[in-house]
A and B are shown apart, each in its own frame.
Chain A
Amino acid sequence: MIYGVLAGFETPEDLLRAIKKIRESRFTLFDAYTPFPIEGLDEALGIPENRVGLVALGGGACGATLGFGMQWYANVVAYPMNIAGKPDFSWPAFIPVTFELTILTAALFGALGMLVMNGLPRLYHPIFAVAEFRRASKDRFFICIEAADPLFDVFRVRSFLESLGAMDVREVAFETE
């Protein structure tokens, strides 16, 4: 069983050109791995708009409602106290804490959402078994065509990737024997 075939490119431009060719050849299951975010990569791969923003918005909305509600409960229902004759429900004074809690929950939800949707933490992945992949966090731009792709055929994919000018084309095994 193999996971896919990995190919490295020297520059982001080479990577984008290769991705265009791969899509033209009707492969659907492949991913790119880069040392830094590259403009235009999402469009080239056809990655849909992500939902991190929505998750953060939802978290912020929860924080705002629950935070404001908590203060209302604390100072109006559970422990009302006369402070300088102000009404118990003096809501403008509750705004700073509501604001802080909104920011806090939005940031926490956003960060957790990013990790969960990215499938992290996941310390092991078959692709780490390829020694050359260490350069994906340094100066190499990789493409991996996955074996689950309906058009996948090891020999065809290998020679196809080589024809695109890939540097080192390697098979990614599921497990190292």
Chain B
Amino acid sequence: MAEHTYASVTEKISGDVLSRPIQRLWMVGAICGFILINLLLFSVSWLFFRGIGIWGVNVPVAWGFAITNFVWWIGIGHAGTFISAFLYLMHQQWRGSINRFAEAMTLFAVACAGLFPLLHLGRPWFFYWLLPYPDTMGLWPQFRSPLVWDVFAVSTYLTVSLLFWYVGLIPDLASLRDEARKPWQKVFYGVLCLGWRGSAGHWSRYQSLYMILAGLATPLVVSVHSVVSMDFSVAVVPGWHSTIFPPFFVAGAIFSGFAMVLTIGIPLRKYFDLEDFITIHHLENCAKLLLVTGWIVIYSYAMEDFMAWYSGDIFDRYIQINRAFGDYSPAFWLLMTCNVLTPQLLWFKKVRTHVGALFIISLFIQLGMWTERYVIIVTSLHRDFMPSAWFKYHGSFWDWSTLVGSIGLFIFLFILFVRILPSVAISELRELLHKSRREEFK
């Protein structure tokens, strides 16, 4: 940062959007994403045509891949707002260079997440029955159900994250408008920035709003995954019915979210030569947060086992043993390897400052977190209270294709985002530069 000026920071980040030619690597990514989106569209069309019988789900395992994917994506979507809001309130200035793309990641992940409960509805064209409105059937949602809370939590989270992201973008869009050379760019960014002038009054209200949104978004982040976890813990299913679920899920969400920040941030800084802004110091901080949240997750695993034993409940005890040694034991041990063992490498500074190692560890954690939700959902459901209801579940081709397709949607949206909008917050970088200079001056 030291050798940069206000002008060089602005020109670098806005130039990446405005004048950088389209490179082959970007094209390859965009095409891959596009192909996978088509896989998603194809899978969803087939689903609408045939119904959810094309998936592997059946009673009692009614919650297979769709809910696993939902919880996984929405968990990934937690780090963005956590970085923007919570770290902002804590005056963690290093957030400045990673918050923008982390917020975009949040939006796209929540968009992917939102698909799955709707697709899983069976009759998805009636999704609006979940909303409270006076209809001719005289029907109202039943507000004692966590599934209805979920609708409000997820849609609020999407809206507030979008608002937070857009408000943060306004001054940067004004920078792009002023840097733009091509007429369409001037019009496009000029309209999007709403005529921002950066006057003192503008900034004053803007900063108040930003602080308020941060204050509102912080408890929101915690509430969203708590509500998601209540979908499980309010049910009486063994292995789900536990008070540890809300904090356990929130920690897991932030754990997977920071892993995704690394998965995205490492190629991004390489591709756009952002090493001056997203430094190894930023990556190391993310790695440390992975270690912290990873240990909260490990503690939760231990507590689940302990409570199952301590409660003396035979169903709970059986589920815990069945997870480790039953039909789904390979998934369980994969989860243990990815989520418990792999993050321990981050104790070593050499690993925390090695870009390649961080990237691979982050992929392992994504895999581990997906498997965790799979294990929680499937192992608890497939061994119900009555052996006559026992069932063996496996994802079908369409389960997999929808999951892979949603990853494609995420990649494609992100790859478009980095070309159209600045992936680092320019005005915040200028402010950081100003502050660091003043400190030198003192």
Task: For the complex, give the distance between the alpha carbons of A34 and B196 in Å.
Answer: 11
B196 contacts which chain A residues (CB < 8 A)?
A: 120, 137
Task: For the complex, give the distance between the alpha carbons of A137 and B429 in Å.
Answer: 12
Chain B residue nearest to A12 (CB atoms) is B434
A-B contacts, 20 listed (Cβ < 8 Å) = A32-B200, A35-B171, A36-B203, A50-B204, A56-B216, A78-B138, A79-B138, A90-B144, A94-B143, A99-B219, A100-B152, A100-B153, A101-B152, A104-B156, A104-B159, A111-B213, A114-B208, A135-B178, A137-B10, A139-B430
A34 lies within 8 A of B198 (CB): yes
Q: Would you call B140 an interface residue if the criterion is a C-beta within 8 Å of the partner chain's C-beta atoms?
A: yes
User: Measured between C-beta atoms, what is the minimum distance from B167 to chain A in Å?
Assistant: 6
Q: Would you call B205 an interface residue if the criterion is a C-beta within 8 Å of the partner chain's C-beta atoms?
A: yes
Task: For the complex, give the distance between the alpha carbons of A12 and B156 in Å.
Answer: 38
A103 lies within 8 A of B219 (CB): yes
A74 lies within 8 A of B171 (CB): no
- Contacts known (A56-B212, A99-B223, A114-B206); A42 close to B200, Cβ less than 8 A: yes
A106 contacts which chain B residues (CB < 8 A)?
A: 212, 216
Q: Would you call A148 an interface residue if the criterion is a C-beta within 8 Å of the partner chain's C-beta atoms?
A: no
Q: Would you call B220 an interface residue if the criterion is a C-beta within 8 Å of the partner chain's C-beta atoms?
A: yes
A100 lies within 8 A of B156 (CB): yes
B159 contacts which chain A residues (CB < 8 A)?
A: 104, 107-108
B175 contacts which chain A residues (CB < 8 A)?
A: 35, 137-138
User: Measured between C-beta atoms, what is the minimum distance from A168 to chain B in Å?
Assistant: 15
Instruction: Please report which residues of chain B, range 229-245, place their CB below 8 angstroms from some CB of chain A when the two chains form the complex.
Output: 230
A75 lies within 8 A of B142 (CB): yes
B203 lies within 8 A of A37 (CB): yes
A74 lies within 8 A of B431 (CB): no
Task: For the complex, give the distance between the alpha carbons of A32 and B11 in Å.
Answer: 23
- Contacts known (A108-B163, A121-B195, A136-B198); A36 close to B431, Cβ less than 8 A: yes
B152 contacts which chain A residues (CB < 8 A)?
A: 96-97, 100-101
User: Measured between C-beta atoms, what is the minimum distance from A152 to chain B in Å?
Assistant: 18
B212 lies within 8 A of A123 (CB): no
- Contacts known (A56-B212, A124-B195); A118 close to B201, Cβ less than 8 A: yes
B190 lies within 8 A of A107 (CB): no
Task: For the complex, give the distance between the alpha carbons of A152 and B11 in Å.
Answer: 36
B212 lies within 8 A of A138 (CB): no
- Contacts known (A37-B206, A114-B209); A103 close to B140, Cβ less than 8 A: no
- Contacts known (A33-B199, A50-B204, A125-B197); A138 close to B160, Cβ less than 8 A: no
Partner among B203, B205, B428 whose Cβ is within 8 Å of the Cβ of A34: B203
- Contacts known (A71-B143, A103-B160); A47 close to B204, Cβ less than 8 A: yes
Q: Would you call B308 an interface residue if the criterion is a C-beta within 8 Å of the partner chain's C-beta atoms?
A: no
Q: Would you call B384 an interface residue if the criterion is a C-beta within 8 Å of the partner chain's C-beta atoms?
A: no
B167 lies within 8 A of A93 (CB): no
Q: Would you call A45 an interface residue if the criterion is a C-beta within 8 Å of the partner chain's C-beta atoms?
A: yes
A135 contacts which chain B residues (CB < 8 A)?
A: 178
B139 contacts which chain A residues (CB < 8 A)?
A: 79
Chain B residue nearest to A93 (CB atoms) is B144
Q: Would you call A8 an interface residue if the criterion is a C-beta within 8 Å of the partner chain's C-beta atoms?
A: no
Task: For the complex, give the distance between the alpha carbons of A136 and B227 in Å.
Answer: 44
Q: Would you call B45 an interface residue if the criterion is a C-beta within 8 Å of the partner chain's C-beta atoms?
A: no
The 5 closest A-B pairs by CB, nearest first: A139-B6, A121-B194, A74-B140, A79-B140, A134-B178
B174 lies within 8 A of A118 (CB): no
A74 lies within 8 A of B143 (CB): yes
- Contacts known (A114-B209, A124-B195); A45 close to B427, Cβ less than 8 A: no
Q: Give the A-binding residues of B (Cβ under 8 A).
A: 5-7, 10-11, 132, 134, 138-144, 146, 148-149, 152-153, 156, 159-160, 163-164, 167, 171, 174-175, 177-179, 190-191, 194-209, 212-213, 216-217, 219-220, 223, 227, 230, 427-428, 430-431, 434
Task: For the complex, give the distance between the alpha carbons of A50 and B207 in Å.
Answer: 10
Interface size on A, residues (CB 8 A): 60
A118 lies within 8 A of B156 (CB): no
User: Measured between C-beta atoms, what is the minimum distance from B402 to chain A in Å?
Assistant: 27
A70 lies within 8 A of B142 (CB): no
Partner among A79, A96, A108 whose Cβ is within 8 Å of the Cβ of B227: A96
Interface centre among A37, A70, A135 (most CB of B within 10 A): A37
A123 lies within 8 A of B6 (CB): no
B200 lies within 8 A of A36 (CB): no
Instruction: Please report which residues of chain A, range 65-94, place their CB below 8 angstroms from some CB of chain B when the two chains form the complex.
Output: 70-71, 74-75, 78-79, 81, 83, 86, 90, 93-94
Instruction: Please report which residues of chain A, range 95-151, place their CB below 8 angstroms from some CB of chain B when the two chains form the complex.
Output: 96-97, 99-101, 103-104, 106-108, 110-111, 113-115, 117-118, 120-125, 127-128, 134-139
User: Measured between C-beta atoms, what is the minimum distance from B430 to chain A in Å?
Assistant: 4
Mask: chain A, 25-58; 1 = CB below 8 Å from B; 0 = not: 0000001111111100110010100101100100
B153 lies within 8 A of A37 (CB): no
Task: For the complex, give the distance between the alpha carbons of A99 and B204 in Å.
Answer: 28
Task: For the complex, give the distance between the alpha carbons of A96 and B140 in Å.
Answer: 17
B143 lies within 8 A of A36 (CB): no
Interface centre among B138, B153, B199, B230 (most CB of A within 10 A): B199
A93 contacts which chain B residues (CB < 8 A)?
A: 143-144
- Contacts known (A53-B212, A107-B163, A123-B190); A118 close to B202, Cβ less than 8 A: yes
B427 lies within 8 A of A35 (CB): yes
